[in-house]
Amino acid sequence: MNTNGTTSNPAFGSLIDGLFNRSISDIVGADYTNESPSVNIIETDDSFEIEVAAPGLSKEDFAISIEKDHLNVSAKSEETNSEISFKRKEYDFKVFSRKFRLPKTVDKETIKAKYDLGILKITVDKTPEAKEKGPRTIDID
Protein backbone atom coordinates (compact mmCIF):
# COMPACT_ATOMS: atom_id res chain seq x y z
CA MET A 1 0.00 0.00 0.00
CA ASN A 2 1.31 3.48 -0.86
CA THR A 3 1.63 6.28 1.66
CA ASN A 4 -1.59 7.88 0.36
CA GLY A 5 -3.59 4.71 1.12
CA THR A 6 -3.91 3.47 -2.48
CA THR A 7 -2.66 0.20 -3.83
CA SER A 8 -0.07 -0.11 -6.53
CA ASN A 9 -1.25 -3.59 -7.51
CA PRO A 10 -3.05 -3.26 -10.88
CA ALA A 11 -4.68 -6.69 -10.54
CA PHE A 12 -6.30 -5.64 -7.25
CA GLY A 13 -7.52 -2.38 -8.82
CA SER A 14 -9.12 -4.22 -11.73
CA LEU A 15 -10.80 -6.64 -9.29
CA ILE A 16 -12.31 -3.70 -7.39
CA ASP A 17 -13.38 -2.03 -10.65
CA GLY A 18 -14.89 -5.32 -11.76
CA LEU A 19 -16.97 -5.56 -8.61
CA PHE A 20 -18.16 -1.97 -8.32
CA ASN A 21 -18.81 -1.23 -11.98
CA ARG A 22 -21.24 -4.12 -12.41
CA SER A 23 -24.81 -4.64 -11.35
CA ILE A 24 -25.72 -7.11 -8.62
CA SER A 25 -27.29 -9.42 -11.21
CA ASP A 26 -23.96 -9.57 -13.08
CA ILE A 27 -22.11 -10.52 -9.89
CA VAL A 28 -24.42 -13.18 -8.45
CA GLY A 29 -25.92 -14.33 -11.74
CA ALA A 30 -29.53 -13.74 -10.76
CA ASP A 31 -32.09 -11.31 -12.11
CA TYR A 32 -33.72 -9.02 -9.61
CA THR A 33 -36.88 -7.16 -10.57
CA ASN A 34 -39.12 -4.76 -8.73
CA GLU A 35 -42.22 -6.29 -7.21
CA SER A 36 -44.41 -3.88 -9.13
CA PRO A 37 -43.99 -1.58 -12.12
CA SER A 38 -43.19 2.11 -11.98
CA VAL A 39 -46.07 4.58 -11.93
CA ASN A 40 -46.52 8.21 -13.00
CA ILE A 41 -49.43 10.24 -11.62
CA ILE A 42 -50.31 13.37 -13.55
CA GLU A 43 -52.81 15.97 -12.36
CA THR A 44 -54.60 18.10 -14.92
CA ASP A 45 -57.35 20.66 -14.37
CA ASP A 46 -60.01 18.02 -15.06
CA SER A 47 -58.53 14.70 -13.96
CA PHE A 48 -55.78 12.55 -12.54
CA GLU A 49 -53.95 10.27 -14.96
CA ILE A 50 -52.19 7.20 -13.62
CA GLU A 51 -49.65 5.65 -15.97
CA VAL A 52 -48.42 2.16 -15.10
CA ALA A 53 -45.34 0.96 -17.03
CA ALA A 54 -46.05 -2.74 -17.63
CA PRO A 55 -44.49 -3.92 -20.90
CA GLY A 56 -45.07 -7.41 -22.18
CA LEU A 57 -48.62 -7.77 -20.89
CA SER A 58 -51.94 -7.64 -22.70
CA LYS A 59 -55.02 -5.71 -21.62
CA GLU A 60 -56.67 -9.00 -20.61
CA ASP A 61 -53.95 -9.52 -17.97
CA PHE A 62 -55.08 -6.49 -15.93
CA ALA A 63 -57.82 -6.16 -13.33
CA ILE A 64 -58.92 -2.72 -12.10
CA SER A 65 -61.41 -2.29 -9.28
CA ILE A 66 -62.59 0.24 -6.72
CA GLU A 67 -62.97 -0.66 -3.07
CA LYS A 68 -64.11 2.17 -0.82
CA ASP A 69 -61.58 4.98 -1.38
CA HIS A 70 -58.99 2.84 -3.16
CA LEU A 71 -58.32 2.12 -6.81
CA ASN A 72 -56.82 -1.37 -7.12
CA VAL A 73 -54.70 -2.25 -10.15
CA SER A 74 -53.37 -5.76 -10.57
CA ALA A 75 -52.08 -8.02 -13.30
CA LYS A 76 -51.61 -11.72 -13.69
CA SER A 77 -49.99 -13.15 -16.78
CA GLU A 78 -49.26 -16.70 -17.80
CA GLU A 79 -45.76 -17.65 -18.98
CA THR A 80 -46.04 -17.61 -22.77
CA ASN A 81 -42.70 -18.94 -24.04
CA SER A 82 -40.45 -20.90 -21.72
CA GLU A 83 -38.06 -21.75 -24.57
CA ILE A 84 -36.52 -18.27 -24.53
CA SER A 85 -33.16 -18.14 -22.78
CA PHE A 86 -32.48 -14.62 -21.52
CA LYS A 87 -28.93 -13.37 -21.09
CA ARG A 88 -30.33 -10.59 -18.92
CA LYS A 89 -33.92 -9.83 -17.92
CA GLU A 90 -34.72 -6.61 -16.07
CA TYR A 91 -38.50 -6.50 -16.25
CA ASP A 92 -40.93 -9.29 -15.60
CA PHE A 93 -44.31 -8.29 -14.24
CA LYS A 94 -46.17 -11.58 -14.32
CA VAL A 95 -48.06 -10.74 -11.12
CA PHE A 96 -48.39 -7.43 -9.33
CA SER A 97 -50.88 -5.40 -7.35
CA ARG A 98 -50.95 -1.67 -6.62
CA LYS A 99 -53.42 0.29 -4.52
CA PHE A 100 -54.06 4.03 -4.91
CA ARG A 101 -56.02 6.11 -2.42
CA LEU A 102 -58.59 8.21 -4.26
CA PRO A 103 -59.32 11.70 -2.99
CA LYS A 104 -62.92 12.59 -2.28
CA THR A 105 -62.77 15.07 -5.17
CA VAL A 106 -62.89 12.40 -7.91
CA ASP A 107 -65.80 10.90 -9.77
CA LYS A 108 -65.49 7.13 -9.23
CA GLU A 109 -68.18 6.42 -11.84
CA THR A 110 -66.24 7.81 -14.82
CA ILE A 111 -62.88 6.02 -14.46
CA LYS A 112 -61.48 4.91 -17.82
CA ALA A 113 -58.48 2.71 -18.68
CA LYS A 114 -56.47 2.06 -21.83
CA TYR A 115 -53.43 -0.15 -22.43
CA ASP A 116 -51.16 0.84 -25.30
CA LEU A 117 -47.47 0.26 -26.05
CA GLY A 118 -46.71 -1.18 -22.60
CA ILE A 119 -48.39 1.62 -20.63
CA LEU A 120 -51.66 1.17 -18.75
CA LYS A 121 -53.25 4.63 -18.55
CA ILE A 122 -56.08 5.15 -16.07
CA THR A 123 -58.00 8.43 -16.15
CA VAL A 124 -59.87 9.47 -13.02
CA ASP A 125 -62.05 12.54 -13.59
CA LYS A 126 -62.42 15.20 -10.92
CA THR A 127 -65.84 16.20 -9.67
CA PRO A 128 -67.17 19.51 -11.03
CA GLU A 129 -66.68 21.08 -7.60
CA ALA A 130 -62.99 20.11 -7.54
CA LYS A 131 -62.07 21.46 -10.97
CA GLU A 132 -59.99 24.59 -11.04
CA LYS A 133 -62.12 27.57 -11.75
CA GLY A 134 -60.72 30.63 -13.43
CA PRO A 135 -60.22 33.86 -11.56
CA ARG A 136 -63.34 35.76 -10.65
CA THR A 137 -63.97 39.11 -9.12
CA ILE A 138 -65.84 39.59 -5.88
CA ASP A 139 -68.33 42.44 -5.66
CA ILE A 140 -68.03 44.61 -2.62
CA ASP A 141 -71.30 45.68 -0.99
DSSP letters spanning 45-78:
SSEEEEEEE-TT--GGGEEEEEETTEEEEEEE--
CA nearest neighbour of 98 among 51, 55, 42: 51
Segment 71-81 mean pLDDT: 80
pLDDT of residue 77: 79
Q: Tell me: the pLDDT tens digits for 15-45?
A: 555 555 544 444 444 443 446 888 999 999 8
Q: Inform me whether the pLDDT recorded for 12 exceeds 60.
A: no
**Domain 33-125 adopts which CATH fold?**
Immunoglobulin-like (2.60.40)
- Read off the pLDDT of residues 94-116 as tens digits, 9 standing for 90 and up: 788 999 999 989 999 999 999 99
The model scores a pTM over 0.95: no
- Of 62, 65, 71, give the one whose Cα is nearest residue 94: 62
Place 65 in a pLDDT band, splitting at 50, 70 and 90. Answer: very high
